[in-house]
Amino acid sequence: MELRFGIIGCGSIGGFLGRLLTREDPELNGRARLTAVAGRERARARELGAELGCDHHDVPGLLARTDVDAVLLCTPSGTHADLGAAALRAGRHLLVEKPIDVSPAAADRLISVARQEGGTLGVVSQRRFDPATRLAKSAIDAGELGRITSVLIELPWWREQSYYSSSSWRGTRLLDGGGALMNQAVHAVDLAQWLAGPVVEVAAHTALLAHHDIEVEDVATASLRFAGGALGVLLATTAAYPGRTARISVHGDRGSVVIDSDELEYFHAAREGERAPAYGAFGSANQAADHAPSQKRDTARDRIGLLYQPHRDQLLDFLDAVRDGRPPLADAAAGRQAVAVVTAVYTSAATGGPVRLGTGTRHEEGTP
């Protein structure tokens, strides 16, 4: 079964996914094919179509084609629910770039349409498909780390002012939905919840400290409480010059794992009968090297710097989900939960108090 894709949104991510679909890849070739691209700026759509060797359209033109089975939606975040709903109502399956939209209410609208139309709906969260993340997930699910006690999410990145000035939607509440947290760190929020379970309470601060002429934060910090009792700390910033790597650490009472820049930096799971020194191992006893063979991956990168392999593996999972009639691994519910945490952080920062999360609460429905 071959799924024919159309891409809506001809910016950097749309171009990257188009090149992924059109490159030589024995696992994707014959299962996924790019048919057409569409964008708000017809000149850019024409340029990308020429590069990828496919047709270009406006959005209605792409959705009117009979040879588009699924849409990859790569437009500004605040347009995802409306454009995604149009694609689903046109009978297409939908894989939407993160975040699913900029509020839980918008996510709910999109999820409702997917249920009504019967289309497969997924959210791009390619870091779930990194080998290190998969190993951590397997170990945690198997109980190898014991009870999860704490989680650290660190995203100390840098973005020049020119990044925010490059597009009129960047840094706006309406279309970007937020700053360093909603745009950059939403991936890390999704991963932390996938590994350690849902966040149920946040207390947070946000600030704009290193940029100007934008409506959103470039620094966000939060204290997190997870459903299983673990506590967490979140730092998301685009004001950490010159930019460091993103890191997620998950600690339990029988082991710990640290993923840095999508690589397994530290792993330890207690072996039978093992007892750590009374005052701890101070970072020794790292078992990460023992898992090196399982961490091998395709190192090919696109010209914008992204690895092809994680997105390729997510596309393969999406193809399987359509074929098998099941939700994708990174489904709409997970996409909504990540946005719910982000908006709860914004609500906490605005009100100065903690915010509890729960399906349908007023805090989740708030906008940043």
Per the CB < 8 A criterion, the answer to whether 343 and 366 are in contact is yes
Whether the per-residue pLDDT at 3 is higher than 90: the answer is yes
pTM higher than 0.75 for the full model? Answer: yes
pLDDT at 179 over 60: yes
Residue type at 313 in one-letter notation: D
Nearest Cα to 90, choosing from 57, 53, 123?
A: 57
pLDDT level of residue 358 (50, 70, 90 thresholds): confident
Question: pLDDT digits over 244-276, tens only?
Answer: 999 999 999 999 999 999 999 999 999 999 988
In contact, 230 and 151? CB cutoff 8 Å = yes
Q: pLDDT tens digit string along 15-74? A: 999 999 999 999 999 999 999 999 999 999 999 999 999 999 999 999 999 999 999 999
**Tens of pLDDT, residues 109-152:** 999 999 999 999 999 999 999 999 999 999 999 999 999 999 99
Contacts of 10 (CB under 8 A, 6+ apart): 37, 38, 39, 41, 44, 45, 47, 48, 74
8 Å CB contact between 74 and 9: yes
> Of the given ranges (5-9, 178-182, 229-233, 280-284), which has the lowest mean pLDDT?
280-284
Mean pLDDT of 327-333: 97
- 222 with 203: CB under 8 angstroms? yes
pLDDT beyond 60 at 235: yes
In 10 A of CB 206, how many CB atoms?
23
Q: Compute the Cα dihedral for 20, 25, 28, 33 and give only its sign.
A: positive
Neighbours of 299 (CB within 10 A): 8
Instruction: Give the angle subtended at the CA of 331 by the CAs of 328 and 335, to the nearest 5°.
Output: 155
**Average pLDDT in the chain:** 94
Q: Which has the minimum average pLDDT: 290-299, 313-322, 331-340? A: 290-299
Residue 6 has pLDDT above 80, yes or no: yes
Query: What pLDDT score does 367 carry?
Result: 36
